[in-house]
């Protein structure tokens, strides 16, 4: 039982060559290595069926890995059943025990470990999640947000080395979800326990996590801080799954200092060499990507006023929709038939209406380059909007 | 007229309800009868004789207690075996699942007289002594399928994540079963047990074939239908009806009060 | 069936030592199944085999019975007792239809119209079960007694003229006629119709009625096109739960009927327990079982709900 005490060092979660193939032959997780540093808020992000939940369940011990090992610090826990691991889980839709009241739900783990006087600890924990006066209610008498907090309290009271969260906010409405994101982040900072959080919601992952691992088809596509992933995605999947990206196919003409010169159609584009994850040999093909909010939109009549050195593309507006803080345009250009552009509503140009000829231009530093041999549509919204499983 | 059309289904339903309850009313009323002959089919005059002396008929209370004993043990046996099967069917994957399912389903889709006759053939062939044990064996056999069905329905609607959550919170397999699985499955098991008790207590056809010279309460009633029906039969019938209804009502009241105090 | 019992015993020698201790859970389902399935195999399946063998035996009680593959017993049983077979199917069929007609409004009432009385009505449907069904069946002797109010009313309304013309009653009495037997069967198995109907009706989302009304369906059309099709699983299992036991019943025919209303159950019972002609009784019982299985299979196919189990 001493292993259950929180230790100060070596609390990393290390997955080595871990994979899972089910009896029916379906491979949920392909061999993967992953290290979650102690005390971090780590998110596994991906669409349903990408293997993120299976990975989480292998850490919890609820799923046996087909190959590979799971280490918590120095301890190999691969063969340990869930009830012997110093790890606790906040389950999807919470899995609160319907026959026990809130107090007993929270006390459950302590009691199973043979701790007799649980009253003080449980009450402190219920106060932490602001549910002190509800302790004698049954789970079904609480709202979704309250149930969610009970689930967190029930897991945290055991001081696990790692707290696993399986789509913890999936059942809540948007407003409550935003509120709970901040709440969870606050609790994590307060208790300092490693959180591993599985979600299909990119905004949720980016808001809360220090490190995000984007998973796709049983593999980790890219791992890094949210800003890195967003600003410099390593694949079209990541570029499309996290936010929206525009892509133009281009050929490398040559190199000028730190920048690559590219030809796209008749135009010329510049791309910082360190922001290109593809091969940079002259004559090679790359996909040039840029985020919609980095692009400025200027009416063709004013094109002369655009500063030199900016990447530019001409086109015609086909759609525009006003959404409050910004206006979203779809621009048809010879290079790409549906360029998305978000323009902040600071000074609105009345000429920017569907049919208008425009120039799109942006700072080359915001450009990123990807290997051209991949599906431009990979990870587009329609996949990620599916209900999580 | 409009009202009539709107409430036609209610009226029809209440007529059916009356049809269902009429015999019970007759049984109750005739428990206060003082019949002239051996049969209690015609109203003569009011009397409390039978209520004052419910066991006044030879052998009747003995058969009643035998029926209660058999029902108790049959319920215990069928509930234990049936619950185990239900858990195996819902929670595990194994070979011969289809065969097991049909073996559970067939006893429910078989006329009682067929099961009764074939079981008697078996007992005769084995040279078994007919009596308490053969009745008990038969009752466990036909109650088993009903228990499996009742428990299965409940276990199937149970979220497997609850058991995983228990394991995640340091409960070993035994603890998980005792602390989480069993309490949550309890209503299904209770329903199955109640059904088994009712089926066993009231069974006549299968018992009649396999009882030998042993007499259970339904067999006593059957016999008295040929020889003469004592009023005490109606007393027992009425009393059981009242006890059952009172138990259910009390249960409902307790449930309602419990809900009120918590919310 | 024997494969089921053969499977569970565990081979103690494990092939190559598995990496994880948790593997030993593989045998758990078999241990859970073993006692119950064994019980059913020995006391349900095996008796069927014995019965099959008894039905082709010949002999007498004094000299003992021997298997002679005497299939003629089946033919003799059928030709001697086909009226009882037909009567069983006819009475059980009538009772099933009556149960459906009577039970549906009540199930509908409980599911959609009872409001806060729902539980009370539900208890009233189940409560009669607690009085032994034999006692309740005997009460019908009082209710349908000659010259009683029920018979009198039916006579005044000329209902008995119709039923007499149909051959269901004779003269001015109900007791000891087919009508009394059907009436008793209907009464006894009505709850088995109402409960499955209620379960499937209760599952129907009330908003479907509103949606149907919104889409120009009259209440009658709503019932025909929406409610009734959705309650089909309940109708199918209710009719099966009524028809099967009713076809094998002999209590109602014995208590409420006469020698002219004997059903196949009565014959089996008499052959087995009084005449002690085991081969004939076994053959009759086997024919009844086969007939019911064939009818049930055919019916389930037609009704299109095979996921009853």
**Based on the structure, what is the number of domains in chain C?**
2
Chains in touch with A (3+ beta-carbon pairs under 8 Å) read B, C
Any CB–CB contact under 8 A between B158 and chain C?
no
Question: Side by side, which strands form the sheet with A41-45?
Answer: A87-90, A162-166, A194-199, A41-45, A211-216, A219-224
pTM of the model: 0.80
Burial of B45 (0-12, 13-18, 19+ CB in 10 A): exposed
Q: Read off the pLDDT band of C13 (50, 70, 90).
A: very low
| Cross-strand bridge partners of residue C75 | none
Q: Which residues contact B106 (CB under 8 A, 6 or more apart)?
A: C44
The residue of chain B with its CA nearest to that of A96 is B162
Check pLDDT > 80 for residue B81: yes
| Cross-strand bridge partners of residue A260 | A255, A271
pLDDT at A132: 86
Shortest CA gap B158–chain A (Å)? 10
Domain with residue C182: its CATH number is 1.10.3720.10
Contact list, C19 vs chain A (CB under 8 Å): 79
Residue predicted with more confidence, B180 or C167: B180
C-alpha dist (Å) from residue C195 to B145, C100, C121, C202, C235: 18, 11, 12, 10, 10
Is residue C59 in a domain? no
Check pLDDT > 50 for residue C12: no
CB proximity under 8 Å: B 18-57 to C: 19-24, 26-27, 30, 41-42
Both C117 and C164 in one domain: the answer is yes
Question: pLDDT 10s digit of each residue in chain A, 389 long?
Answer: 334 444 444 678 999 999 999 888 889 999 999 999 999 999 999 988 889 999 999 999 999 999 999 999 888 999 899 999 999 999 988 999 999 999 999 999 999 998 888 999 999 999 888 888 998 999 999 998 899 999 999 999 999 989 999 998 887 888 888 888 888 888 888 888 999 999 998 889 998 999 999 999 889 999 999 999 999 999 999 999 998 899 999 999 988 888 899 998 888 899 998 898 888 888 888 999 999 999 999 999 988 888 888 998 999 999 999 988 899 999 998 888 789 999 998 888 889 999 999 999 999 999 999 988 888 888 776 544 444 33
Check pLDDT > 60 for residue B202: yes
Q: Read off the pLDDT band of C21 (50, 70, 90).
A: very low
Is residue C97 in a domain? yes
pLDDT at B244: 85
Interior/surface letters C201-232, b for 16+ CB within 10 angstroms, e for the rest: beebeeeebeebeeeebeeeebbeebbeeebe
Both C26 and C97 in one domain: the answer is no
Mean pLDDT across chain B, nearest whole number? 90
Which fold does the domain A245-371 belong to in CATH?
OB fold (Dihydrolipoamide Acetyltransferase, E2P) (2.40.50)
Mean pLDDT of C88-92: 94
Contact list, B95 vs chain C (CB under 8 Å): 7
Any CB–CB contact under 8 A between A17 and chain C?
no
Q: What number is the ipTM of this complex?
A: 0.89
- Distance between CA atoms of residues A312 and A262, nearest Å: 12
Check pLDDT > 80 for residue C14: no
Expressed as residue numbers, the domain containing C33 is 2-44
Which pair of structure tokens corresponds to residue A387?
């209900």
Q: Where are the domains of chain A?
A: 13-236, 245-371
pLDDT at C38: 96
Helices marked H in chain B = 2-6, 8-30, 49-52, 60-91, 97-105, 112-126, 132-156, 160-168, 173-176, 182-202, 205-210, 217-227, 231-262
Report yes or no: C251 and C134 within 8 Å, Cβ to Cβ: yes
Both C36 and C179 in one domain: the answer is no
Both C236 and C298 in one domain: the answer is yes
Residue predicted with more confidence, B210 or B4: B210
Both C224 and C280 in one domain: the answer is yes
Is residue C55 in a domain? no
Query: Could B168 and A87 be called an inter-chain contact, meaning their C-beta atoms sit closer than 8 Å?
Result: yes
Both C125 and C33 in one domain: the answer is no
Both C131 and C15 in one domain: the answer is no
Q: Read off the pLDDT band of C306 (50, 70, 90).
A: very low
pLDDT at A330: 94
Both C186 and C90 in one domain: the answer is yes
Residue of A62, A64, A85 to mutate, interface with C, max C Cβ within 10 Å: A64
Any CB–CB contact under 8 A between A64 and chain C?
yes
- Distance between CA atoms of residues C205 and C216, nearest Å: 18
Check pLDDT > 80 for residue B127: yes
- Distance between CA atoms of residues C42 and C55, nearest Å: 19
Q: How many interchain CB pairs under 8 A, A with B?
A: 73
CATH number 3.40.50.10440 given to A13-236: no
Q: Read off the pLDDT band of B259 (50, 70, 90).
A: low
Q: Which residues contact B194 (CB under 8 A, 6 or more apart)?
A: none
Report yes or no: A369 and A271 within 8 Å, Cβ to Cβ: yes
Q: Read off the pLDDT band of C18 (50, 70, 90).
A: very low
Burial of B173 (0-12, 13-18, 19+ CB in 10 A): middle
Chains in touch with C (3+ beta-carbon pairs under 8 Å) read A, B
Name the one residue in this structure whose structure tokens are 């149930």.
A147
Cα C298-C302-C303 angle, rounded to 5 deg: 115
pLDDT at C171: 79
pLDDT at B258: 65
Shortest CA gap B80–chain A (Å)? 22
Residue of C18, C20, C23, C26 to mutate, interface with A, max A Cβ within 10 Å: C20
């Amino acid at each position: 039982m001493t292993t259950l005490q929180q230790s100060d060092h070596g609390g990393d979660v290390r997955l080595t060559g871990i994979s899972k193939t089910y009896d029916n032959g379906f491979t949920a997780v392909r061999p993967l290595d992953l290290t979650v540093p102690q005390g971090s808020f780590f998110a596994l992000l991906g669409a349903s069926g990408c293997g993120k939940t299976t990975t989480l369940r292998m850490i919890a011990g609820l799923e046996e890995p087909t190959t590979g090992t799971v280490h918590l610090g120095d301890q190999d826990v691969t063969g340990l059943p869930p009830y012997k691991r110093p790890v606790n889980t906040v389950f999807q839709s919470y899995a609160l025990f319907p026959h026990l009241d809130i107090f007993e739900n929270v006390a459950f783990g302590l009691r199973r470990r043979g701790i007799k006087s649980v009253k003080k600890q449980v009450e402190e924990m219920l106060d932490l999640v602001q549910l002190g006066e509800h302790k004698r209610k049954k789970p079904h008498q609480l709202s979704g947000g309250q149930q969610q907090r009970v689930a967190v309290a029930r897991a945290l009271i055991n001081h696990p080395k790692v707290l696993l969260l399986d789509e913890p906010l999936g059942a809540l409405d948007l407003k409550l979800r935003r509120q709970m994101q901040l709440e969870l982040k606050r609790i994590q900072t307060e208790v300092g326990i490693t959180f591993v959080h599985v979600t299909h919601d990119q905004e949720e992952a980016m808001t809360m996590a220090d490190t995000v691992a984007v998973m796709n088809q049983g593999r980790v596509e890219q791992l890094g801080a949210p800003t890195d992933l967003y600003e410099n995605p390593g694949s079209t999947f990541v570029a499309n799954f996290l936010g929206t990206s525009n892509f133009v196919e281009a050929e490398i003409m040559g190199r000028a200092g730190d920048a690559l010169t590219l030809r796209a159609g008749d135009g010329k584009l510049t791309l910082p060499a360190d922001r290109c994850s593809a091969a940079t040999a002259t004559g090679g093909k790359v996909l040039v990507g840029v985020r919609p909010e980095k692009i400025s939109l200027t009416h063709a009549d004013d094109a002369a006023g655009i500063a030199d050195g900016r990447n530019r593309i001409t086109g015609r507006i086909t759609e525009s929709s006003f959404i409050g803080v910004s206006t979203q345009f779809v621009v048809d250009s010879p290079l790409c038939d549906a360029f998305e552009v978000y323009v902040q509503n600071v000074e609105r140009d009345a000429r920017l209406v569907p049919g208008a000829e425009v120039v799109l231009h942006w700072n080359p530093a915001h450009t990123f380059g990807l290997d051209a041999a991949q599906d431009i549509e990979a990870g587009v919204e329609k996949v990620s909007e599916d209900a999580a499983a | 007229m409009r009202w009539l059309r709107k409430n036609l289904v209610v009226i029809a339903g209440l007529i059916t309800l009356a049809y269902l309850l009429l015999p019970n009313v007759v049984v109750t009323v005739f428990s206060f009868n003082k019949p002239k002959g051996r049969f209690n089919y015609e109203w003569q005059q009011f009397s409390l004789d039978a209520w004052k002396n419910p066991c006044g008929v030879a052998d009747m209370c003995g058969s009643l207690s035998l029926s209660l004993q058999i029902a108790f043990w049959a319920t215990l046996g069928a509930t234990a075996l049936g619950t185990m099967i239900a858990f195996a069917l819902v929670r595990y994957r194994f070979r011969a699942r289809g065969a097991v399912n049909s073996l559970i389903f067939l006893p429910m889709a078989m006329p009682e007289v067929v099961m009764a006759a074939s079981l008697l053939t078996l007992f005769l062939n084995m040279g078994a002594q007919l009596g308490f044990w053969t009745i008990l064996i038969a009752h466990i056999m036909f109650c088993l399928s009903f228990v499996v069905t009742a428990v299965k329905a409940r276990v199937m609607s149970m979220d497997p994540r609850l058991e995983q959550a228990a394991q995640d919170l340091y409960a070993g397999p035994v603890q998980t079963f005792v602390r989480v699985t069993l309490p949550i499955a309890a209503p299904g098991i209770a329903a199955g047990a109640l059904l088994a008790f009712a089926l066993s207590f009231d069974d006549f056809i299968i018992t009649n074939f396999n009882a030998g010279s042993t007499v259970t309460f339904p067999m006593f009633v059957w016999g008295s239908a040929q020889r003469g029906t004592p009023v005490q039969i109606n007393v027992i019938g009425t009393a059981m009806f009242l006890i059952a209804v009172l138990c259910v009502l009390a249960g409902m009241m307790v449930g309602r009060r419990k809900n009120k105090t918590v919310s | 069936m024997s494969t089921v019992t053969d499977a569970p015993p565990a081979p103690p020698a494990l092939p190559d030592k598995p990496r994880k201790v948790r593997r030993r859970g593989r045998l758990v389902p078999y241990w859970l199944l073993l006692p119950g399935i064994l019980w059913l195999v020995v006391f349900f399946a095996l008796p069927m085999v014995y019965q099959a063998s008894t039905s082709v035996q010949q002999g007498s009680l004094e000299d003992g019975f021997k298997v002679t593959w005497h299939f003629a017993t089946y033919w003799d049983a059928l030709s001697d007792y086909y009226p009882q077979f037909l009567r069983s199917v006819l009475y059980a069929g009538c009772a099933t239809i009556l149960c459906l007609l009577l039970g549906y409004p009540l199930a509908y009432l409980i599911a959609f119209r009872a409001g806060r009385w729902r539980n009370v009505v539900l208890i009233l449907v189940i409560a009669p079960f607690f009085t032994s069904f034999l006692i309740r069946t005997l009460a019908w002797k009082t209710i349908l007694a000659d010259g009683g109010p029920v018979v009198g009313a039916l006579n005044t309304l000329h209902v008995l003229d119709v039923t007499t013309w149909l051959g269901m009653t004779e003269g001015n009495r109900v007791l000891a006629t087919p009508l009394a037997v059907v009436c008793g069967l209907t009464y006894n198995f009505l709850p088995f119709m109402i409960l499955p109907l209620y379960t499937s009706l209760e599952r129907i989302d009330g908003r479907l009625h509103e949606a149907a009304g919104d889409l120009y369906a009259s209440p009658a059309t709503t019932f025909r096109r929406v409610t009734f099709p959705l309650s089909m699983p309940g109708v199918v299992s209710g009719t099966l739960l009524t028809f099967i036991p009713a076809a094998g019943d002999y209590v109602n025919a014995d208590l409420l009927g006469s020698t002219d209303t004997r059903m196949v159950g009565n014959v089996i019972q008499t052959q087995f327990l009084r005449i002690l002609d085991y081969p004939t009784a076994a053959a009759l019982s086997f024919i009844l079982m086969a007939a019911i299985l064939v009818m049930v299979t055919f019916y389930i196919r037609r009704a299109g709900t095979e996921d009853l189990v």
